[in-house]
Amino acid sequence: MSEWHDQSDVIILGGGMVGLAFACALKNTGLRVVLIERGEAPVRESLGRDCRVSAIVRGNVQILQGLGVWEHLAGVAGPMRAMRIWDNQETGGIRFDAGEIGADALGYLIENSQTQKAMHKVLLDAERFEFCCPAEVDEIEWGDERVHVALKDGRKLSAPLIVGADGGRSWLRQQAGISCHQRDFHQQGIVATVRPERPHGGIAYQRFLPTGPLAMLPMSGDLCSIVWSAEDAEAERLMGMDDEAFLTALNRLFGPVLGRIVEAGQRAAFPLKAQLARHFVRPRLALIGDAAHTIHPLAGLGVNLGLRDAMVLAQEIADAKRFDEDWGKLSVLNRYMKQRLPDVLSVMGAMEGFHQLFTHDVPGLKLLRGAGMRLIGNSGAIKHLLMRNSTGLSLPVPKQIG
């Protein structure tokens, strides 16, 4: 690979929400950005909605506002004004209200495909952005000053930096020889859109069952999205049910909080694993989103971590350009890594702790869980701090790239 005709400033591999958000963040930096995507996955509909949804926390809504994305989403986003959590209807529960932190919503539930459409709209008028789709990398070569990429259609590209936003099974991470710490929960997450009998009122519900959590999340139009985490054998049993049997099982376990769940759309299931790349950065390479880390969907925080990755890395690149630094050098990329690790590790640790706390039936643990939830519910200071941290409002992440 000796001749390079197309020189850019940043190459992004992966055109999902995190890769697109990163491109949006670089839009006004004057950098030439090329995004390579193998092919956009077809939307899997459930009651006419994308069954893959994300809960975007309040702090990350501010990021989407700063990127100009939110104006295209406000009409389709389902606000989560409160959250109710309980432990198998046995030891009480806890409620979080957005008003307790002076906000109108803790976050918003948005279909993944809607978020991606909104990001594409923002990038339409970006003069120095190119979206290559469908396109696939055939070969990659790491040079001292640039990384060289050959596409399968014969096109050749080069840039000082390539960014991996290509998901949990990242091809780029593998090509760089970066391994992962992995944790298999031996569970699957079942997702579907459902229609409850009564309006949800913008309240998200999460019930912790012995086999895993069941979340009922409010969508626009008084529909709900379920995320039902179940051990592999139970998940296979649930996925094998006909619609009527599945609705019966769902109503029996969720309870009558919203009346009866009267309709469930097409279901999908995906394995639940957590992993952490041993290196977020290498010379000429940075990983963001699921390519760097994946977590249990217990609190729906995975894409939120990825959006924060994108903003921090984009700001470091913009700063490096301003001060005439080489943004592909490890000294610059390490600044991104050092800022992101505390957030990523704390969220991963919290999710692992919750998983252990609510899925183990150790004598006395049930009473401890109940006492802990009552303590949080009765302590305004602890509850307020927990809410600000979980909504991303207290994190030092840029909301707009300056």
CATH number of the domain within which 118 lies? 3.50.50.60
The answer to the question of residue 79 being in a domain is no
Helix or strand or coil: residue 285? strand
Identify which of 196, 154, 162 has the alpha carbon closest to the alpha carbon of residue 33. 162
Q: What letters, b where the CB count within 10 A reaches 16 and e where it falls short, cover 307-334?
A: bbbbbbbbbbbbebbeeeebbbeeebbe
The answer to the question of residue 245 being in a domain is no
Tens of pLDDT, residue by residue over 123-155, are 999 999 999 999 999 999 999 999 999 999 999
Q: Give me the pLDDT at residue 365, please.
A: 45
Q: Give me the pLDDT at residue 379, please.
A: 44
Q: Give me the pLDDT at residue 378, please.
A: 47
**365-187-88 Cα angle (round to 5):** 35
Distance from C-alpha of 204 to C-alpha of 216, rounded to nearest angstrom: 6
The answer to the question of residue 231 being in a domain is no
Distance from C-alpha of 250 to C-alpha of 196, rounded to nearest angstrom: 11
The answer to the question of residue 65 being in a domain is yes
The answer to the question of residue 288 being in a domain is yes
Chain position carrying tokens 């978020």 = 115
Question: Residue 1 above 70 pLDDT?
Answer: no
Question: Residue 383 above 70 pLDDT?
Answer: no
Position 381 confidence tier, pLDDT thresholds 50, 70, 90: very low
The answer to the question of residue 327 being in a domain is yes
The answer to the question of residue 229 being in a domain is no
Tens of pLDDT, residue by residue over 305-351, are 999 999 999 999 999 999 999 999 999 999 999 999 999 988 877 66
**CA 272 distance to own-chain centroid:** 14
Model confidence, pTM? 0.90
Number of domains in the chain: 1
Tens of pLDDT, residue by residue over 297-314, are 655 678 999 999 999 999
Distance from C-alpha of 172 to C-alpha of 292, rounded to nearest angstrom: 11
Distance from C-alpha of 385 to C-alpha of 271, rounded to nearest angstrom: 32
Could you tell me the residue range of the domain that residue 290 belongs to?
6-70+109-181+273-362
Residue type, 288: I
The answer to the question of residue 290 being in a domain is yes
